[in-house]
């Protein structure tokens, strides 16, 4: 299937991808956006950048009011080119800094702040609507609440999940280079605990009505990208008109 074959509509295509940590949603969404010539928005990076800025500014993470005030005034720039995505705070490149363990272990404190979520929700919607350099290319947006809150009217909405075992192994390889028992345990907090914390304000484990559920547990990266592209093609071309339980369970071929 040609990736470009799904781009048949006159209006820009918006694709929303939800999923838990380690499901592959970031890497897969970025590649899908690249192949389709769309923008790519990593909303999780926005929360990480906000967390980094709060910490660097000396704001107490436990002070919800001050954290929200800081984020409302945050000078945040997101590059949405999937071949060169990036995050800057007040002109400072934070792409590597926001992936550090010290950010990963506390980002939920910021991400579960409802006032912070409201502020970043507004910015996320603006970014999805604007596109690169003010020209709307269409967008693949991924993160939490994307299919239900951020972009509930997206042309395609996908919940990308994987088993806890698969997610731990993937993130362990990403962070530690292997998935042995020690590495998996060292990664568990970033996956299980963070998902548990975030689930108090966000539903990203159960597909809402009209959202296609794709389980990537048994798929490698290329297979997952192909499955997502196939799902997009089916939905955009009208091959899927009613997502029943079988479809939401991952029947995308």
Q: Is 238 annotated as a binding residue?
A: no
CB distance 137 to 40 below 8 Å: no
The full 3-state SS of 138-181, as one line of letters, equals: CEEEEECCHHHHHCCCCCEEEEEECCHHHHHHHHHHHHHCCCCH
pTM tops 0.85, yes or no = no
120 exposure class (CB count in 10 Å sphere: 0-12, 13-18, 19+): buried
Q: Is 23 annotated as a binding residue?
A: yes
End-to-end CA distance of the chain: 12
Q: Which two tokens stand for residue 69?
A: 């005030």
Per residue in 131-167, pLDDT tens? 655 566 799 999 988 999 999 999 999 999 988 888 8
Q: Is 82 annotated as a binding residue?
A: no
Domain ranges of the chain: 11-248
Task: State the pairing for strand pair 156-161/212-215.
Answer: parallel
Q: Which two tokens stand for residue 99?
A: 């992936």
Element (H, E) at 215: strand 212-215
Which residues 6+ apart lie within 8 Å of 87 measured at CB?
42, 45, 46, 48, 49, 76, 77, 78, 79, 93, 94, 95, 98
Q: Is 250 annotated as a binding residue?
A: no
Which residues 6+ apart lie within 8 Å of 78 measured at CB?
41, 42, 45, 46, 85, 86, 87, 127
Q: What is the pLDDT of residue 252?
A: 41
Q: What is the pLDDT of residue 69?
A: 98
As a whole number, mean pLDDT of residues 88-108 equals 94
Per residue in 208-253, pLDDT tens? 788 999 999 988 999 999 999 999 999 988 765 444 333 434 444 3
For residue 130, name the pLDDT band (cuts at 50, 70, 90).
confident
Q: Is 2 annotated as a binding residue?
A: no
Q: Is 22 annotated as a binding residue?
A: yes
As a whole number, mean pLDDT of residues 1-20 equals 70
Q: Is 26 annotated as a binding residue?
A: yes
Q: What is the pLDDT of residue 48?
A: 96
Q: Which of 41, 5, 19 is nearest to 224 (CA)?
A: 19
Q: What is the percentage of the chain residues whose pLDDT exceeds 70?
A: 72
For residue 168, name the pLDDT band (cuts at 50, 70, 90).
confident
What are 88-95's contacts with CB under 8 Å, separation 24+? 89/49, 89/52, 89/53, 90/53, 94/49, 94/52
Q: Which two tokens stand for residue 62?
A: 């436990």
Q: What is the mean pLDDT of the chain?
A: 83
- pLDDT higher at 66 or 175: 66
Which residues 6+ apart lie within 8 Å of 235 measured at CB?
155, 156, 212
Per CATH, domain 11-248 is 2.40.110.10: no
Per residue in 193-218, pLDDT tens? 566 655 555 555 566 788 999 999 98
Q: Which two tokens stand for residue 65?
A: 């009011």
Sign of CA dihedral 47, 48, 49, 52: positive
């Amino acid at each position: 299937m040609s990736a470009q074959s799904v781009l048949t509509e006159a209006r820009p295509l918006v694709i929303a991808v939800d999923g838990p940590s380690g499901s592959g949603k970031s890497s897969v969404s970025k590649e899908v956006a690249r192949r389709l010539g769309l923008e790519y928005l990593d909303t999780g990076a926005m929360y990480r950048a906000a967390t980094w800025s709060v910490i660097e500014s000396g704001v107490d993470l436990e002070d919800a009011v001050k954290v929200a005030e800081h984020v409302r005034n945050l000078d945040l720039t997101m590059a949405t080119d999937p071949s060169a995505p990036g995050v800057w705070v007040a002109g400072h490149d934070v792409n590597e800094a926001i992936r550090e363990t010290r950010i990963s272990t506390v980002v939920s404190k910021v991400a579960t702040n409802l006032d912070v979520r409201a502020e970043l929700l507004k910015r996320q919607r603006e970014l999805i609507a604007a596109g690169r350099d003010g020209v709307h290319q269409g967008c693949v947006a991924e993160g939490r609440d994307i299919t239900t809150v951020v972009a509930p009217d997206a042309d395609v909405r996908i919940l990308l999940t994987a088993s806890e075992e698969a997610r731990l192994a993937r993130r362990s390889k990403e962070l530690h280079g292997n998935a042995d028992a020690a590495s998996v345990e060292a990664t568990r907090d970033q996956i299980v605990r963070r998902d548990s914390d975030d689930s108090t304000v966000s539903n990203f484990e159960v597909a809402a009505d009209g959202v296609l559920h794709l389980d990537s547990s048994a798929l490698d990266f290329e297979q997952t990208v192909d499955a997502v592209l196939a799902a997009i093609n089916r939905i955009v071309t009208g091959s899927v008109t009613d997502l029943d339980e079988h479809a939401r369970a991952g029947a995308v071929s």
